[in-house]
Amino acid sequence: MSAEENLKKLGLTLPAIPTPVANYVPWKRDGNTIYCSGQGPRKADGGFHSGKVGKDVTIEQAYEHAKIVGLQLLAAAKAAAGSLDKVEVIKVLGMVNAVPEFTDQPKVINGCSDLFVHVLGERGRHARSAVGMGSLPNQITVEIEAVMRVLE
């Protein structure tokens, strides 16, 4: 089954690639490697999901926010590769805006990782870091960046 069919089966669609909030590009391709810039979870109105995980936001809510970011990263990868069926995820860095005592960063970033596997299958499995941060831009709940490969 193609990645597009998997998205449809999950009831998901790729969003438009968000306009960067600073001086950078959403993705950069070097040969067959795609570097996707860190993104935060955007709302339908263009705003961001924000707050501290473990205080203002639950693990379950933050998991969904990480899933939103995963869709945004897949949209950037599709633009870079031309098709999600040619994309393999190599490495993910997930950052969680959390209270100091929060220790479940991996559960939050699983929102993105699980999405990649559901959409891309084995090509969605990746190396990963999930870390806590004292703050993130615009107080977003999560920021995630990814390195992907284009399979020719």
Q: What is the pLDDT of residues 74-89, one digit of tens each?
A: 999 999 999 999 999 9
Q: Which residue has the higher pLDDT, 117 or 19?
A: 117
Q: Which residue has the higher pLDDT, 19 or 145?
A: 145
Q: What is the pLDDT of residue 1?
A: 84
Q: What is the pLDDT of residue 69?
A: 98
Q: The domain spanning residue 39 has which CATH number?
A: 3.30.1330.40
Calculate mean pLDDT across residues 63-84: 98
Domain hosting residue 43, numbered range: 3-10+29-141
Q: What is the pLDDT of residue 152?
A: 84
Percent of the chain's residues with pLDDT above 90: 94
Tell me how far apart the terminal alpha carbons of the chain are, to the nearest angstrom. Answer: 18
Q: Is residue 91 part of a domain?
A: yes
Calculate mean pLDDT across residues 79-108: 98
Which amino acid is it at 86? K
Q: What is the pLDDT of residue 12?
A: 96
Task: Locate 7 and state its tokens.
Answer: 């998205």
Q: What is the pLDDT of residue 46?
A: 87
Q: Is residue 22 part of a domain?
A: no
pLDDT one-digit tens code per residue, 12-53: 999 999 788 789 999 999 999 999 999 999 999 989 999 999
Question: Starting at the edge strand that comes first in sequence, how are the strands of the sheet with 87-97 ordered?
Answer: 27-30, 33-39, 142-150, 87-97, 127-133
> Does residue 151 have a pLDDT over 80?
yes
Q: Is residue 150 part of a domain?
A: no
Split into its structural domains, the chain has a count of 1
Q: What is the pLDDT of residue 10?
A: 96
Q: Is residue 147 part of a domain?
A: no
Minimal CA–CA distance to 75: which of 7, 143, 122, 24?
7
Q: Is residue 20 part of a domain?
A: no
| Cβ 43 vs Cβ 33: under 8 Å | no
Minimal CA–CA distance to 54: which of 102, 111, 108?
102
Q: Is residue 146 part of a domain?
A: no
Q: Is residue 49 part of a domain?
A: yes
Q: Tell whether the torsion through CA atoms of 12, 16, 22 and 26 is positive or negative.
A: positive
